[in-house]
Chains A and B, each alone.
Chain A
């Protein structure tokens, strides 16, 4: 059994002298690592446009269905006066899109862990957290691309015109992207701890739908049933939506934006901390 008969032929595969040449490269800076890895995460958006389309599915359905349904049904009593349902719901749809994209950054990390690239990166002399930052930046870009598509759809097809003006709309979208980025860290942390696709998907379904519906997203909180209104009042998404909506509608005052910024900042700090801790654990 210990005799192996193999004929050694002229071999097409003759690896380059490995040790004959000393190491020529001396590592990359963290910024370069983040840039290269962000580019890698974003490549899926370009090579696989289905990813973007799939991410847009839920926001688009909600946008189209709700605007059609509610314009027929008449407005609930606490609806802001002189505001169309489209004006009301668009900021919430953008937040929904932001949340979807944030979830995808966690799912993307779990995919990376599964497909072996993380194992490869761990054997390289790089800062492991640069992969997490890359995921978070890719999420931001993706969220922005999808927001632009949603806005184009709302303006072009549904006839949306921002009540507050273009600058206010831009500020609203900017705040939405900030929320997406910070929520992204929460889901990256979840991915780094869960490390498996199924619990990650379950978390996405279980967390998002109730969070979106038990909030001020689609109906003013005052018009929700009492128990749902109670949930909505402590739901951080309510504050995020109130803030981006106030900006988009051109309602003056910055007080709405403050809780949203605080909430976003806190989630980002806590999420990033747990993400790094979870990711650092050996495979």
Chain B
């Protein structure tokens, strides 16, 4: 299946059918290369998480795949339709929850859903039935007649997601769906996504949160400066990064640059850039912890805190996601 031809009429029966596919997709804005030869492939009924910092290109990729942005080069297909040639076919089959809630603040929650249902071709009755169904499922009944602009962030997100499900889409795009949500709304949204996937919907979600990707995604693509720098299941990524790690936190008066220098001299590849100023050192065997302590001791630095960790997605992120700004002012990192 190339993913670029129309699916067979009863494609639902086909498992493993590729519902979202990008081949060498690049997108250039003026002088900014927002996407650089991106390849992804998402089978039906699975979740792909696009993991990346701000500016990595997540929203741009969502824009290209939802036929909202023309691509500069490459090919992309959703539900078997080409984004450049058959954008309306794609719009018929997708739901999009953008990074910023796209509901009409002037209208009530219910009227927002009605509007979309009518535009999708539902008759008055059918539109009302669908709106009420979604309001109930998303626990929005109490606020259904209130104007959406009076909603809290969590409510608005939920309405936004409900709005993208009105047409029962086969593929859903969620751009940073939980950014800015409180923990309980976040959990709530995760459960919604899990239920959708259980029902066979294909999901592409972008996130800056590792726990979110780890919990929801069947596979993860790490996006950095427009390129996919790693992809695979959470387990595969952890294996790729390969190592266990030692995390060292220094005392305030110790110079992190000196510590990094000392560790490098001991042939280690320390990674910096955590918010708390900690240094992560990938190691092979647990006995190498001693080597870390010795290397630091040689320059008279004693770790204020030292912990040993099995690989986590944090490590994947820090090891793979090149982000020079995070590494400054320490000297350049060894290439991953």
Contacts and interface: CB of A to CB of B under 8 A. Distances in A.
A115 B92 contact: no
Given A13-B137, A16-B133, A43-B107, A123 B119 contact: no
A40 B108 CA distance: 11
B319 interface: no
B230 interface: no
B214 A2 contact: yes
A151 to B, nearest CB: 28
A126 B210 CA distance: 36
A76 B330 CA distance: 79
B120 A28 contact: yes
A128 to B, nearest CB: 11
What secondary structure prevails in chain A residues at the interface with B? Answer: loop
B68 A18 contact: no
A82 interface: no
B98 A116 contact: yes
Contact of B102 (A16, A44, A116): A116
A31 interface: no
A117 B104 contact: yes
Contacts of B122: 24-25
A104 interface: no
Interface stretch (A3-11, A167-175, A189-197, A251-259): A3-11
B43 to A, nearest CB: 13
Contacts of B215: 4, 6
A49 interface: no
Contacts of B210: 1-2
A6 B68 contact: no
B92 A27 contact: yes
Interface in B41-89: 45, 63, 66, 68-70, 88-89
Contacts of B167: 23, 25, 124
A270 interface: no
A264 to B, nearest CB: 29
B199 A20 contact: yes
B96 interface: yes
A233 B211 CA distance: 69
B312 interface: yes
B186 to A, nearest CB: 10
Chain B, interface size: which category? 35 or more
A44 B106 contact: yes
A56 B313 CA distance: 60
B314 A18 contact: no
Interface in B253-299: none
A123 B63 CA distance: 10
B121 A27 contact: yes
Contacts of A19: 12, 45, 168, 170, 199-201
Interface residues of A, number: 47
Given A43-B106, A124-B91, A283-B68, A2 B211 contact: yes
A123 B238 CA distance: 35
A83 interface: no
Interface stretch (B189-197, B221-229, B321-329): B189-197
A131 to B, nearest CB: 10
Contacts of B137: 13-16
B115 interface: yes
A152 interface: no
A125 B88 contact: yes
Nearest to A17: B199
A44 to B, nearest CB: 6
A104 B83 CA distance: 35
A282 B68 CA distance: 7
Given A18-B201, A119-B102, A2 B312 contact: yes
A124 B120 contact: yes
Contacts of A44: 106
A15 B138 contact: yes
B201 A28 contact: no
8 contacts: A11-B195, A17-B200, A23-B93, A23-B170, A27-B92, A36-B119, A120-B96, A124-B116
Given A11-B191, A36-B119, A117-B104, 13 more contacts: A2-B211, A12-B139, A15-B199, A16-B134, A16-B137, A18-B165, A18-B169, A19-B200, A23-B92, A43-B111, A123-B68, A123-B164, A125-B91
